[in-house]
Amino acid sequence: MAANVPEPRQYVPLTCHGHSRPVPHIGFSSLTKDDNYYMISACKDGNPMLRDGKTGDWIGTFIGHKGAVWQAKLSHDASTAATASADFTAKIWDTHTGELLYTLQHNHIVRAIAYPRYESDVVATGGYEKKLRIFNLPDGKPHSSSPSNTPIEPVALDASSAFEIGEGVHKDSIKFIVWATSGVVLVTASGSTLRWFDTTSRTCIKEEVLDGEIKSCEIVESAPGYSDSKDIGGGKPVLAVAAGKSVYFWGGDAFDDPIKNFKLSHGVASVGLDLKGRKFAVGEEPGTWVRVYSWDNGTEIDVLKGHHGPVWSIAFSPDGRLYATGSEDGTIKMWKNCEGFYGLWKGASGTSLDRSAE
């Protein structure tokens, strides 16, 4: 009788090539029709990329930045993408054509950008100017003044056209921005401090100093139909933050309700949260590994090896069935987070997967 072979704890990751420099940020879209979704990556090579979220297949590259791209976000319907760059601009792109729609001019490096939860005509930006700005994009997409086959003419918006929130409050560069579920509150990560701002009064309403410089600050949310009241956060979005040697999680409509935090034995460069699987993954710093911990008792349950540089960003897919890691080594790896067939994984045993963008 054949001996029982234990199920492997993890699947061989899919590796996405194509970038030529470090990848500081990755993110997934919401679910689109047929339960598909997309992944977007920022890169210091100045060329953010759009990929199929399930397979990692390259779809396109947004060409136009003249400096490192620090962050890239997709709108709620994945129709547009927003990027923040060291070339003193943020840009808005059409994800179907790859064309540039808007250039948001700043006076210094832009590190952070964010859409409200269900809007694509508003973005918040922040960076080395230490200013939190909100841009209202003009109604209607830019269009060409020439025949239909010619490229559209992007609109340039100066920083003076935006309005500032919390003037003079930030003392360090703004590296992350998230819109709370309510749509009224903005949360920023600057230095070691998280701050909550009311966009109506344009004032800071709360701040909290964490265990060191904040390296990661992202919303974790399951798609409708995949969330449940038994999930972490009660089926609602959760704010996940990595700072120093600690990870923090907040809930509530304004992300101001502390849910849990963990003090780890090592520095943390990034954090991702599996709401349904009740575990969290962190990129260790210094180091190149991703360590996975139990939400319920904080014990280490897995170690993911394969990157050759620090892991700066971790994101779970909207259905929770995989997660992706972006690294200093210029690659993105996708890790299966479910049983059986999914994406390019054929089954439990799996095979070595490697996809290259052209």
- Between CA 104 and CA 173 the distance in angstroms is 18
Count the residues in the chain: 358
Residue 101 maps to which CATH number?
Answer: 2.130.10.10
Spatial CA neighbour of 13 closest among 293, 295, 318, 289: 289
Label residues 151-169 b or e (16+ Cβ within 10 Å = b): ebebeebebeebeebbeeb
DSSP states along 322-334:
EEEEEETTS-EEE
Tokens encoding 295 = 């939400």
Tokens encoding 53 = 């979220």
The predicted-structure confidence for 260-313, as pLDDT tens digits, reads as follows 999 999 999 999 999 999 999 999 999 999 999 999 999 999 999 999 999 999
Host domain of residue 324: 14-356
Residue 5 lies in a domain: no
Residue 205 lies in a domain: yes
Beta carbons within 8 Å of 95's beta carbon, 6+ residues apart: 38, 50, 74, 78, 79, 80, 81
Instruction: Kindly report the average pLDDT of the chain as a whole number.
Output: 92
Give the helix, strand, coil percentages of the chain, each rounded to 5.
Answer: 5, 45, 50
- Between CA 318 and CA 54 the distance in angstroms is 10
Q: What is the pLDDT of residue 150?
A: 66
Backbone dihedral angles phi then psi of residue 112, each to the nearest 5 degrees? -135, 145
**Strand 257-263 vs strand 332-336: parallel, antiparallel, or unpaired?**
unpaired
Q: Are 68 and 51 in contact (CB under 8 A)?
A: no
Residue 272 lies in a domain: yes
Residue 338 lies in a domain: yes
The predicted-structure confidence for 26-69, as pLDDT tens digits, reads as follows 999 999 888 899 999 999 999 999 999 999 999 999 999 999 99
Residue 6 lies in a domain: no
Tokens encoding 230 = 């038994």
- Between CA 37 and CA 53 the distance in angstroms is 5
Residue 58 lies in a domain: yes
Average pLDDT of the residues in 196-213? 97
Q: What is the pLDDT of residue 151?
A: 74
Residue 252 lies in a domain: yes
CA-based end-to-end distance of the chain: 48
Q: What is the pLDDT of residue 147?
A: 55
Question: Does the pLDDT value for residue 6 go beyond 50?
Answer: no
Question: Which pLDDT band, with edges at 50, 70 and 90, does 141 fall under?
Answer: low
Whether pTM > 0.75 for this model: the answer is yes
- Per the structure, the count of domains in the chain is 1
Q: What is the dihedral of CA 162, 167, 171, 174, to 10 degrees?
A: -30
Residue 2 lies in a domain: no
